[in-house]
Amino acid sequence: MIQLLVSRIIGLVPLLLIVSFLTFGMLHMVPGDVRDRILGTDATAEQYEALGEKLGLNDPIVVQYARWLFNAVQGDLGTSAYNSQKVTDAVLDTLPVTLSLTLGGMFVAILIGVPAGVYAGLHRGSYIDRAAVLIATIGQSLPNFWVAMLLVIPLGLIWQVVPATGFVSPSDSITEWIKSITVASIALGTSASAALARQTRGAIIDVLRQDYIRTARSKGLSREVVTFKHALKNASVPVITTIGFQVNGLLGGALIVEQIFGLHGFGSLAIDAVRTQNMPMMQGVVIMGTLVIVLVNIGVDIAYGFVNPKVRSS
Amino acid sequence: MNTATHAPLTGTQRFLRAFLRNRLAVIAASYLVFVVLVALFGQYTLVHSPNEVNLSRALEGPSAEYWLGTDHLGRSTLSRVVAASRVALEAASLGVGIAILLGAPLGLVSGYFGGWWDRISMRIVEAIIALPALLVAIAIIAILGPNLTNAMIALGIANSTAFFRLMRGAALEVREELYVDAARVSGAAPTRVVFGHVLPNVTGPLTVQTTLAFSFVLLAEAGLSFIGLGVQPPNASWGAMLSVAQGFVYQHPFLAVPPGLMIMFSVLAFNLLGDGLRDAWARVDHQGEPTGAAKRRMGSAQQQDTESRAQSRDAADNAALLQVQNLEVRFPAPRGGELAVVSEVGFSVPAGKTVGLVGESGCGKSVTSMAVMGLLAEGGRIAAGSIRFDGEELVGLNETQLNKIRGAKIGMIFQEPSSSLNPAFTVQNQLGEALRVHEGLTNRQADARAIELMDQVGIPGASQRASDYPHQFSGGMAQRVMIAMALACRPKLLIADEPTTALDVTIQGQVLDLLSALQEAYDMSILLITHDLGVVADMCDEAVVMYAGQVIESGDVDAVLRSPGHPYTAGLIASIPQNQKRTGKLQQIPGRVPPAWDWPRGCRFFPRCPAASAACNQPEHIALTRLASGQDSRCVRATDIDVKTLW
């Protein structure tokens, strides 16, 4: 298990190198120059040169990347192109919001999607199953920010059971934190739960066809034991894989949904960076976003190891 | 087979029929056609231009003039929704187009040529997949500037990985196949191989992936426009309209309804279309449907049922442990109705004896044994007959009653030990289950007993291996675990369904020897299902030969093997390699067991029988008759031909 974890973390290194180099290279192909925006149009050539020197723009791109990487490894993702704000600080300030929403959405998706999928799979062909599949197909088609808008009207504005906007850090108050991300998490989790329910249903149906289910039944075990012991643990293997795939989509959804609730996360940071051509900031957000996805996936892999002995022992 | 009624359908026709039968998919396709028409021509029917501002009519609800109301600038929501549908479809087509044009050819090249190019591109694809797709899209917009086309380029690149992987997989597969090798050797250009072999194979999945990409890109476009990075005002887009609506969500919530529904319905339509296409293609790949003649026979099965009951076998042996009489098992036919896959099956297993159930695959041996266990696959049912075990009628028992017998009084082992053990639990856990359920042992007692059992079936180092998982056992050892599991509660009957077929030849003998030894030690009966007459000769006291869902011969194993009473049995005996005359040719029964809907009415074996005569192809049902040599046979010519010398 520890071996698995270590090998996954080591595997991260080349991935982050590729990702950071790709984004770094991409963001430096930008037409136009940040210096134009910072200095305005009537700057002198000396000012121009000096700023270029200060920002390190005069060096070849590989040197610039190496310098960025050298600092990044030490936790310094650079400085905003406009003010003295450290990119690392900005990213870490907004990380709790994005992480809360991503994990909250994942939690809701599992909470709804897995039981619904299990029930539908066990009652394949029943009316409830067919209704569940149809509802899941519809759920998959809902834009999550629309769901968020529709939910925030009754919950946040009319009944005011949860705050309509604003984020409370879990270190300040756990209950307020939960309240502040509930609606957004439900909105995010809806479409993810629909996809998860369909996958879970498929996994259950597939597992119930397996030989070992027949063996379990031939031993005279009750339907409950066959289902909840023998089928469920095996069906959870593909379901956990699906959850891993969904992290990417949930993070993307979180970027958009945070706008509705006035939460300041990676979404706001990225949108500001686009508007102001703040490339160091954009670079930092992309790297941190990748890191979030990969780390959550490692968590998923660990859960995978628990249900799949083949992974654990190899 | 009666195929004259309708000509065989081509692949395309069958695909269309399957697709058109899916009502939701047809509705979805029609809706999409409608949206395309609206996008193309809707603007000419509009009263108000989408950007026509009328501040005196701002934020109105639906009215005769403004069917869907107005927004904060008094612009017609209907007009904007129509204009936006054009934007959405154009944008989605662009995004999906880029994804396909970028991903598909690269994937094709990568899969077809392989090598270092393939390895590098796979690394890049993996990295792109790990990237936060939307964040990368935003980053690309940062470089190119916020507008719809740039957003779509970004989404196209992010989505191209799916097409890359799809085409790469297809190309790899085709490359491995012989016919392309042949095409390559014969000098076909790579382009011809691609267009002739790869593309036809991948059309189905490619279309499905395209519909999925459309729904993904539509949602993402709406999201990007919503946060102001896609379509720029004043142009209309569903996502941008929702962004406006968000500002007035408390004042005028209706503003959020039309664009939201448009997004939902369009994405839903693409999803449903994709599901429909996938199902239809799966249907085309699935060949073989019963013909009209077969359906007629399904109807007549009922009639046969009563006939056979009248001619019921009289060998009611009350001393037998297991007694099966007139068993008929039916399964749903592929196209409605039911098929009797096993009918008039009768045999008995005396206490302490071994009975072999013999026949080729598809004869109904396994179905018969599963019927005894009450474990018929989904949809199957016992339509007639009786299964008496240890004085108790099993037909008609409910699950709870059957669960008291399964695993306790009847144990079962299966063909594939590796897939018959649950990969997620230790063997000790699985061995102890029946003991905990049937004998009320505690976990600790069950664990101890599990080790004893493993020791008994000859697993070396039982106490250390007990906590291993099934994948850590070899095939032979796993089958020993299965045997230990089936015998855990000392059952009176062991049903062994092809217990050695999946094992190495050297291991087969060991497992059979183990079974014989355990039979003696446990004083149990064995119902041995096998296609191997050699195993029957070694292990069994009696043999029951099945063909096409019927028992065609049964009796003492010596009588059946020495002087077979049915040409089919004689054919099986002649096929044993040791029995062959050294002519250098391996004797085989020509043809194979036909599917259940294709069984002849009289003798089911006559199309393959060397002694077939007009009397065999009679419409009446043929009963078992007792022969002079002591066994029962279902051959009408059993007495007037020398069965033994037929092959």
Cβ contacts (< 8 Å) between B408 and chain A: which residues?
A: 220
For A44-102, the pLDDT digits (tens) are 778 777 777 777 777 788 888 898 899 988 888 888 877 788 999 999 999 999 999 99
Confidence of residue B620 (pLDDT cuts 50, 70, 90): confident
Regarding whether A259 and A123 lie in a shared domain, the answer is yes
Regarding whether A113 and A75 lie in a shared domain, the answer is no
- Asked if the model's pLDDT at residue B7 lies above 60, the reply is no
Q: Looking at CA atoms only, how far is residue B146 from chain A in angstroms?
A: 8
A251 falls within a domain: yes
The amino acid at B472:
Q
Any idea which of A114-118, A145-149, A157-161 has the lowest mean pLDDT? A157-161
CB B164 within 8 A of CB B213: no
| Contact yes or no for B268 and A293 at CB 8 A | no
What DSSP state is assigned to residue B390? T
The region that residue B69 occupies, defined by phi over 0 for left and psi between -120 and 50 for alpha, beta otherwise, is left
Regarding whether A167 and A110 lie in a shared domain, the answer is yes
Would you state the pLDDT for residue B307? 38
Number of domains in chain A: 2
| Contact yes or no for B268 and A210 at CB 8 A | no
Window B:121-150, CB contacts with A under 8 Å: 123-124, 126-127, 129-136, 138-143, 146
For B247-296, the pLDDT digits (tens) are 888 888 899 999 999 999 999 999 999 989 888 887 776 544 444 444 44
Regarding whether A137 and A229 lie in a shared domain, the answer is yes
Could you tell me which residues come within 8 angstroms of residue A110 by beta carbon, excluding any fewer than 6 positions away?
A193, A196, A243
Regarding whether A239 and A180 lie in a shared domain, the answer is yes
Average pLDDT over residues A136-163: 87
Window A:236-255, CB contacts with B under 8 Å: 248-249, 251-253, 255
Higher pLDDT among residues B506 and A184, named by residue: A184
Regarding whether A78 and A106 lie in a shared domain, the answer is no
Would you state the pLDDT for residue B552? 92
ipTM (interface predicted TM): 0.87
CB A303 within 8 A of CB A240: yes
A286 falls within a domain: no
Out of A146, A270, A293, the one facing B130 most closely (by C-beta) is A293
Cβ contacts (< 8 Å) between B133 and chain A: which residues?
A: 248-249, 252
- Asked if the model's pLDDT at residue B314 lies above 70, the reply is no
Residue identified by tokens 């910072």 is A38
A307 falls within a domain: no
Cβ-in-10-Å burial (0-12, 13-18, 19+) of B254 comes to middle
A235 falls within a domain: yes
Out of B406, B414, B423, the one facing A310 most closely (by C-beta) is B423
Cβ contacts (< 8 Å) between B438 and chain A: which residues?
A: 220
Best residue of B27, B35, B131 to probe chain A, by most A CBs closer than 10 Å: B131
Window A:62-121, CB contacts with B under 8 Å: none
Could you tell me which residues come within 8 angstroms of residue B211 by beta carbon, excluding any fewer than 6 positions away?
B270, B271, B273, B274, B277
Regarding whether A209 and A105 lie in a shared domain, the answer is yes
Regarding whether A105 and A50 lie in a shared domain, the answer is no
Regarding whether A199 and A66 lie in a shared domain, the answer is no
CA–CA distance, B490 with B442 (Å, rounded to integer) = 18
Best residue of B27, B217, B227, B473 to probe chain A, by most A CBs closer than 10 Å: B227
Alpha helices in B361-412 (DSSP H): 365-373, 399-405
- Asked if the model's pLDDT at residue B5 lies above 50, the reply is no
| Contact yes or no for B138 and A274 at CB 8 A | yes
**What are the CB-based long-range contacts (under 8 Å, 24+) for B64-69?**
B68/B258, B69/B254, B69/B255
Would you state the pLDDT for residue B300? 41
Cβ contacts (< 8 Å) between A308 and chain B: which residues?
A: 423-424
Average pLDDT over residues A219-242: 90
CA–CA distance, A192 with A206 (Å, rounded to integer) = 21
CB B600 within 8 A of CB B607: yes
| Contact yes or no for B486 and A218 at CB 8 A | yes
Which of B165-174, B518-527, B594-603: highest mean pLDDT? B518-527
A287 falls within a domain: no
Would you state the pLDDT for residue A32? 59
Confidence of residue A17 (pLDDT cuts 50, 70, 90): confident
Average pLDDT over residues A22-49: 73
Q: Which of A30, A49, A82 is the last residue of a domain?
A: A82
A284 falls within a domain: no
Would you state the pLDDT for residue A103? 94
CA–CA distance, A137 with A120 (Å, rounded to integer) = 13
Q: Which of A82, A113, A135 is the last residue of a domain?
A: A82
Average pLDDT over residues B35-60: 87
Out of B132, B424, B485, the one facing A252 most closely (by C-beta) is B132
Cβ contacts (< 8 Å) between B139 and chain A: which residues?
A: 23, 26-27, 270, 282, 286
Would you state the pLDDT for residue B287? 45
| Contact yes or no for B407 and A294 at CB 8 A | no
A120 falls within a domain: yes
Q: Looking at CA atoms only, how far is residue A249 from chain B in angstroms?
A: 8
β-strand partners of B384:
B328
Neighbours of A89 (CB within 10 A): 14
Regarding whether A41 and A157 lie in a shared domain, the answer is no
Regarding whether A47 and A170 lie in a shared domain, the answer is no
For A279, nearest residue in chain B (alpha carbons): B142
| Contact yes or no for B142 and A153 at CB 8 A | no
Q: Which of A29, A50, A82 is the last residue of a domain?
A: A82
| CATH label of the domain that carries residue A201 | 1.10.3720.10
Average pLDDT over residues B40-58: 86
Cβ contacts (< 8 Å) between B265 and chain A: which residues?
A: 141
A58 falls within a domain: yes
Would you state the pLDDT for residue B108? 87
Average pLDDT over residues B121-143: 82
| Contact yes or no for B471 and A140 at CB 8 A | no
- Phi, psi (deg, nearest 5) at residue A157: -100, -45
Q: Looking at CA atoms only, how far is residue B136 from chain A in angstroms?
A: 7
The answer to whether B227 faces chain A, any CB pair under 8 Å, is yes
Average pLDDT over residues A167-195: 90
Regarding whether A146 and A52 lie in a shared domain, the answer is no
Mean pLDDT estimate for chain A? 87
Domain extent, residue A250, equals 98-275
Helix, strand or coil, per DSSP, at residue B529: strand
CA angle B381, B382, B386 (to 5 degrees): 165
